[in-house]
Amino acid sequence: MLRPSVVFLFAVLAIVPCAARAGDAPTGASIDLAVADRTLKNGLLVLVQEDHSAPVVSSYVFYHCGSRNERQGRTGIAHLFEHMMFNGGKKFGPGVFDDLIEGNGGSTNGYTSRDLTAYLNNFPREALPLVLDLESDRMAHLAITPQNLEQERGVVKEERRLRIDNEVSGVMDEALYLQAFVESPRRWNTIGFMSDLDRITLDDARAYFAACYAPNNATLVLAGDVVPAPTFTLVERYFGAIPRRKPPPPVDASEPAQDGERRAAVRKNAELPAVLVGYHSLRALDPQRPVLDVIERVLAGGESARLHQDLVREHELATGIGADNVWGIDPDLFWVYVQGRPGKTAAELEHRIDAVMTRMATEPVSAEELARAKNQLRAELVRGLKTVSGKANQLGFFQTVFGDHRAIFRLEAEWEAVTVDDVRRLAATLLVPAQRTVIVLVPVPSGRPASERMPTGGAVR
């Protein structure tokens, strides 16, 4: 399944390696989307965005449950359901969903994050009734059987082995969150722990589905060659009879304040050293979140950004850099990642990261840096909305994480309002050693015994 930014948060390295340059947008870049919305009597929120540039439609169903809604001992169940949902319902049997979508010239997929689980379909406009029929069938009557559970459990366990246990990036990401958080459900990743996957019972699966896969806990987004009024009527026909259910229990994401640096080393087969640093950040709705967005671009927005200039160009220590301010319903992390050159050490990388972060907190950014960061953020926003699938995905994400799809239209003004003083002040408050967790990759030659490598389940040594 498509799972963006779930296992390896610093996948930005695949997009902005040291040889690449992040483009700047024209300062006049902006977004203007007409979105119609309606809430059915059963609580299903429907968003419709017209785009008649091509005879295609993109549908996304966002369920407002992700790994943050799991309980300890049953981690991974949200992502497990991403797989379970393709096993058929009452009207359409196993394998039929994919066959019908693809047979009508479309494609289907899904992804899971800490905050949500989303199911997407891209298809010719004539297939809209079929897609709504398929989606409503699995929302109302998903086949949750012992056979389906065991089959998908095996698939997910293998996914964990490939993406986390046997992947350097997955090991580092998991170690970071396990060290940085001690109580918040954001501490575990979406795939979950192997032992927890083994514990999930049929009763667990049925209870999770009943709590999370209800119309009043979902948002349906349709973008493309559609007209709102008849589309709402069509949605009502297929989804209107699905009963509202008791919503999932509220999530306690409280986390005690970190009062000192945390560190861990992970040992994996690797050729190059790497350092991953995570700072406790802000929830997406925090008024200061846009300032961190700008800081992330100042630090890692291409070759002109500070991390590249310092670690790659001036000191020739790194082959790749990345940073991100992770948006979430709950406070998450602001992370910085650096991969070293051959012959360099993690200590050298960390020393220069410290220097760059100290400078962020003590020296004002230039007017040029500030303008470039804002332009890049606008450019990325516009690029994410170029396709009907991108529009549907972004609208549903903002509805789920920000609580209002219209929040996307406020982003540009929020970024534009950020000042030089805002950047320095927040960097000095949040991006400090006492609130950070440092994960150091210690490369282990492939011939070393397995006992010296990272054990399954996220333990660090």
Please check the confidence at residue 186 and state whether its pLDDT lies above 50: yes
Average pLDDT rounded to a whole number, residues 38-46: 99
User: What pLDDT is attached to residue 95?
Assistant: 87
Q: Give 160's pLDDT tier (boundaries 50, 70, 90).
A: very high
Comparing 29 with 356, which gets the higher pLDDT?
Answer: 356
Task: Write the DSSP string, 179-215.
Answer: HH-SSSGGGS-TT--HHHHHH--HHHHHHHHHHHSSG
- C-alpha 76 chain-centroid distance: 15
Please check the confidence at residue 63 and state whether its pLDDT lies above 80: yes
**CA–CA separation, 239 vs 196, rounded Å?**
33
User: What pLDDT is attached to residue 449?
Assistant: 41
Name the strands in the sheet holding 274-280, side by side, starting at the edge strand that comes first in the sequence: 262-269, 436-444, 274-280, 333-340, 318-325
Supply 174's token pair: 């998991």
How many alpha carbons lie under 13 Å from residue 412 in its C-beta half-sphere? 16
Q: Do residues 367 and 356 lie in contact, with contact meaning Cβ atoms separated by under 8 Å?
A: no
Query: Crossing angle, helix 420-430 and helix 346-362, to 10 degrees?
Result: 130
Q: Which amino acid is at 368?
A: E
**CA–CA separation, 411 vs 145, rounded Å?**
44
Task: Evaluate whether 11-239 and 262-452 have a shared fold.
Answer: yes
Comparing 203 with 10, which gets the higher pLDDT?
Answer: 203
- C-alpha 68 chain-centroid distance: 12
Please check the confidence at residue 456 and state whether its pLDDT lies above 70: no
pLDDT tens per residue, range 269-286: 999 999 999 999 999 999
Q: Give 11's pLDDT tier (boundaries 50, 70, 90).
A: very low
Phi, psi of 427 (to 5 degrees): -60, -40
Residue 370 β-bridge partners = none
Strand residue runs (E) in 393-452:
436-444
Least confident of 5-9, 243-247, 267-271: 5-9
Residue 58 β-bridge partners = 122, 223
Please check the confidence at residue 15 and state whether its pLDDT lies above 70: no
- Just give the CATH number of 262-452: 3.30.830.10
Q: Do residues 379 and 23 lie in contact, with contact meaning Cβ atoms separated by under 8 Å?
A: yes
**CA–CA separation, 291 vs 418, rounded Å?**
6
The CATH architecture that domain 11-239 belongs to is 2-Layer Sandwich (3.30)
Q: Give 25's pLDDT tier (boundaries 50, 70, 90).
A: very low
pLDDT tens per residue, range 68-114: 999 999 999 999 999 999 999 999 998 899 999 999 999 999 999 99
Looking at the chain, the whole-number percentage of residues with pLDDT higher than 90 is 89
Please check the confidence at residue 16 and state whether its pLDDT lies above 60: no
Please check the confidence at residue 461 and state whether its pLDDT lies above 90: no
Phi, psi of 100 (to 5 degrees): -70, -40
Task: Please state the domain extents for the chain.
Answer: 11-239, 262-452
User: What pLDDT is attached to residue 447?
Assistant: 57
Mean pLDDT over each residue of the chain, to the nearest integer = 91
pLDDT tens per residue, range 188-232: 999 999 999 999 999 999 999 999 999 999 999 999 999 999 999
Task: Compute the residue count for the chain.
Answer: 461
Task: Write the DSSP string, 71-114.
Answer: -TT-TTHHHHHHHHTTS--SSS-TTHHHHHHHHTT-EEEEEE-S
pLDDT tens per residue, range 289-338: 999 999 999 999 999 999 999 999 999 999 999 999 999 999 999 999 99
Phi, psi of 47 (to 5 degrees): -115, 135
Residue with tokens 């640093």: 277
Average pLDDT rounded to a whole number, residues 244-268: 96
